[in-house]
Amino acid sequence: MDRPFGLLAELTYRCPLACAYCSNPLELAAYDDELSTAEWQRVFGEAAELGVLQCHLSGGEPLLRRDLVDLVRTASGLGMYTNLVTSAIGLSPGRAEELKEAGLDHVQISVQADEPTASDRIAGIPSFERKLRAAAVAKDLGWPLTVNVVLHRQNIDRVAEIIALVEELDADRVELANTQYYGWAWRNRAALLPSREQLAGAEDVVRAARARLAGRMEIVHVLPDYYGEFPKPCMGGWAARQLTVAPNGDALPCPAAQTLPLPRASVREDPLGRIWDGAPVFTAFRGTGWMQDPCRTCDRRELDFGGCRCQAFQLTGDAARTDPVCHLSPDHAIVTEAVEAANTASRRDDEELVPRPHR
């Protein structure tokens, strides 16, 4: 069996922002009983024993955890590469210095758009200027900086300006990631899914920027899989290389897996190693034995692992079906209908986004 390479530690789902594309679960209140400092430190130890090399400290907003510096020190002391995934709200110069001293290796800051009005509207609070200041602090302290921008139909036409902003911030890497439709993003899909024309425009801009910035800044462009011929190899395969621990201690193969009708596994009840090896939520879709046709006999089954289990469940009600994004799926019409709706004359640009609530 493969060992996990990366741990996504979702320290809290509390967040000062209210992004309508948030992939956190809809039932946020169910995660209020957060793991304590000592529980997270034990989990990090168990993860390191399992072979985890990368620890992504995420949320919600991980800076809302008062013990973040202690948690970074523990993960770093165990030899894991530590990455802070943050909105940057709360990354003051003083806090940043403490995190640096504790061993934090990398900072990833989210930005919602290239200018304050749009960015603050999408984020739900005035935050743009604070993000820019925090990015400067991160660079001053010598961290490698990734800027993450979730793309959707309300900001994708500004990709050129977004890349220009990221250049100004002197980031080492930018992730231009089209929205993945889980959690709040799923609820807001009609208002977020871009049109073909928008995507083609963004691809042209990204291609030119990659050529211009080669060797200076890495540009990762994640296309919306609704427009692809084949699905993405979600998480590199179910329970193959990555695992997630939610704020309440639920252990999951991916951040959206709490939606699937599988028995819960909790780090409060079992050690991470035992969960990885044998918990039903991890073994259910590991490998290829669970596959139905057409995946079962498809040449690509070891390449994309049948796509995303959470998306298959969300769109068909059966997590073992082929991801409907695949053009070979018998359920592919579900996806083509959503795509056609995003490309009709009655574009739903003005549709109200339902913001994720602040907690």
The binding site for [4Fe-4S] cluster comprises 15, 19, 22
Q: Nearer Cβ to ligand SF4, position 3 or 327?
A: 327
Distance CA 348, CA 350 (A): 5
Distance CA 36, CA 228 (A): 41
Distance CA 344, CA 346 (A): 5
Distance CA 210, CA 216 (A): 9
Which DSSP state fits 160?
Answer: H
Stretch that binds ligand FES, among 14-22, 207-215, 253-261, 293-301 (CB under 6 A): 253-261
231 binds ligand SF4 (CB under 6 A): yes
Which DSSP state fits 235?
Answer: G
Residue 20: phi and psi, rounded to 5, are: -75, -10
Stretch that binds ligand FES, among 69-77, 115-123, 183-191, 307-315 (CB under 6 A): 307-315
Distance CA 350, CA 359 (A): 26
Distance CA 288, CA 313 (A): 17
Q: Nearer Cβ to ligand FES, position 16 or 224?
A: 224
Q: State which of residues 185, 251, 308, 342 lies at the interface with ligand FES (CB under 6 A).
A: 308
Closest distance of CB 244 from ligand FES, Å? 9
Stretch that binds ligand SF4, among 99-107, 169-177, 239-247, 323-331 (CB under 6 A): 323-331
Closest distance of CB 76 from ligand FES, Å? 28
Q: Can you say whether the dihedral through the CA atoms of 103, 108, 114, 115 is positive or negative?
A: negative
**Which positions from 189 to 228 touch ligand FES by CB under 6 A, shown as an x/- string?**
----------------------------------------
257 binds ligand FES (CB under 6 A): yes
Distance CA 67, CA 61 (A): 13
State how far the alpha carbon of 251 is from the alpha carbons of 29, 64, 257, 281, in Å.
18, 21, 9, 9
Stretch that binds ligand FES, among 56-64, 164-172, 196-204, 308-316 (CB under 6 A): 308-316
Residue type, 267: V
- Cβ distance 181 to 334 under 8 Å? no
Q: State which of residues 176, 298, 342, 353 lies at the interface with ligand SF4 (CB under 6 A).
A: 298
Q: Nearer Cβ to ligand FES, position 123 or 254?
A: 254
Q: Nearer Cβ to ligand SF4, position 81 or 290?
A: 290
Residue 60 preceded by cis peptide, ω within 30: yes
230 binds ligand SF4 (CB under 6 A): yes
CB-based contacts of 17, cutoff 8 Å, min separation 6: 61, 87, 89, 123, 124, 125, 127, 356, 358
Q: Residue 235's binding partner, choosing from ligand FES, ligand SF4, none, with beta-carbon cut-off 5 to 8 A by kind?
A: ligand FES
Q: Nearer Cβ to ligand FES, position 112 or 311?
A: 311
Closest distance of CB 270 from ligand FES, Å? 21
Residue 261 preceded by cis peptide, ω within 30: no
| Contact positions vs ligand SF4 (CB under 6 A) | 230-231, 294-295, 298, 300-301, 304, 306-307, 322-323, 326, 328
| Contact positions vs ligand FES (CB under 6 A) | 234-235, 254, 256-257, 308-310
